[in-house]
Structure 1
Amino acid sequence: MTLLSVNVNKIAVLRNSRGGKDPDIRTAVETCIEAGCGGITVHPRPDLRHVRPDDVRTIAGMLRGRVEFNIEGNPFAGPRGDYPGLIALAREVRPTQMTLVPDGDGQITSDHGFDLEHDIVKLRPLVDELLALGCRVSLFVDAGATAFDSVAAIGVQRIEIYTGPYAEAFADGRAEPALAACLETARRAQHAGLAVNAGHDLSQANLGTFKAAIPGLAEVSIGHALIGEALYDGLSMTVRNYLQILR
């Protein structure tokens, strides 16, 4: 079955908006695990507006030996204040997977993948270091991306297809072209020996259609929609609903 990794960034956003410790991100993580998710995702940023480095360390301690831990972020983001840098965090906690994303401070959320042909040279030494730490490495890519043979050649094991455009097209009732682009991207990546993850704006409404269209989908990372839906149905029930869709 496709693994569900729950992104808990939005729990941290709500907590940070008020200060203090509530809602408690540890309780949210534990609830997701008890509901059956296969992984937890976080996306720490240098400006500390979401999950913070201390959260990353705490969650790593909770997950070890239980479910997968996926850390997303910009690999070129260096230390700043309390943020030690993405690669430095990986050295500390050694997550199951590092999903490298080309995002900057000015982005509200991740909104594009790597330019693979342009970025491969810069990514190679960082990928080497992450592999040496025992992390699986995934690259965030746009539907329509190519150059997957070069990606595989530097040791990357997976891609994560940016599904924002698909989700938008699905909501507008015109999902077919966007879905076809995702499928072609998945096929090209799999042909190069890469496994395929997906994430961004996937929801209970559009996930089933996406899952059915992408053979061999390894993992989905879902946060914004899942946490929003959990406001109405509860976090445990919402995680179970997603798992049922993936079955």
Structure 2
Amino acid sequence: MTKLSVNINKIATLRNSRGGNVPNLLKVASDIESFGAEGITIHPRPDERHIRYQDARDLKKIVTTEYNIEGNPIQSFMNLVLETKPTQVTLVPDAIDAITSNSGWDTIKHQSFLREVISEFQQNGIRTSVFIDTDLKLIEAAAKTGADRIELYTEDFATQYQLGNKSAIVPYIDAAILANELGLGINAGHDLSLENIRFFKENIPNLSEVSIGHALIAESLYLGLENVVSMYINKLK
């Protein structure tokens, strides 16, 4: 079975927008686990515009499933990961001012750097994953970094699937097959949703984990809206 790791960045964004502690990030993380999710993902950024570095430390104390921290391995991020020692660290080459992740690693150009970073994390017992596109040469180079897993960047698939182009899954299948042959575990994430997740899962061999945040939170907002409106009406009667 493919594990679901829920990215709770958007919960932190909502909390920060009001300046208090509503919604309570730790309570939400615990509740998500109680609902059956098998992992919690966060992606702290240097400006702490959603997940704060202290959130990462606090979550370590309460997450009982897999704990995945994503980010660009600048020194402050590396220090945070080495301090908290999550189950997994996912390396993402996002710029400091990026709204969201928008590309995978060039594992050929940055192979030496990645190898060094990955080695340090693994020496501390942290599983490593590299965020990557479906280029087979990059998959081959990812294996040479010593990474435990890759995370397939799925935005293009999601965009094309919504347009009705199911053949967009083909590069992801090819990448997964090669990754399996090279001994790399396979994760996936970015714009996966209730609309496309079953199709993706059914076509990707040995898919270990998906990390889903924006779509899941947006879907939860809408699918739960009727219930909450009804509850308010009943309170006001």
- The match for 2:235 is none
What's the CA shift string for 1:46-71, capped at 9, x where partnerless?
011120111101111101xx200000
In the TM superposition, what is the alpha-carbon distance from 1:91 to its structure 2 partner? 1.3
Question: Aligned letter for 2:90?
Answer: T
3-state SS of the aligned residue for 2:200? helix
Correspondences of 1:124-139 after superposition (within 5 Å): 124-139=115-130
3-state SS of the aligned residue for 2:46? coil
Asked whether the 8 Å contact 2:149–2:186 carries over to 1, the reply is yes
Are residues 1:146 and 2:137 paired? yes
Whole-angstrom CA distance in 2 between matches of 1:148 and 1:171: 26
- The match for 1:70 is 68
In the TM superposition, what is the alpha-carbon distance from 1:152 to its structure 2 partner? 2.5
Structure 1 gap segments, 5+ residues each: 79-84, 236-247
The structure number with the bigger radius of gyration is 2
Please report the TM-score for the alignment, with normalisation by the length of structure 2.
Answer: 0.92
- The match for 2:186 is 196
Structure 1 stretches (4+) deviating beyond 3 angstroms? 147-150
What's the CA shift string for 1:125-160, capped at 9, x where partnerless?
111110011000000001224243443333211000
Q: Which has the higher contact order (CA 8 A, sep 6+)?
A: 1
Q: CA RMSD of the aligned region, Å?
A: 1.5
Asked whether the 8 Å contact 2:139–2:175 carries over to 1, the reply is no
Matched length: 226
Structure 2 gap segments, 5+ residues each: 226-237
Question: Aligned letter for 2:133?
Answer: D
Are residues 1:231 and 2:229 paired? no
- The match for 1:243 is none
3-state SS of the aligned residue for 2:108? helix
Whole-angstrom CA distance in 1 between matches of 2:206 and 2:16: 37
Identity of aligned residues (%): 46
Correspondences of 1:40-189 after superposition (within 5 Å): 40-63=40-63, 66-75=64-73, 77-78=74-75, 85-176=76-167, 178-189=168-179
3-state SS of the aligned residue for 2:110? helix
What's the CA shift string for 1:201-230, capped at 9, x where partnerless?
000000000001101100000000000011
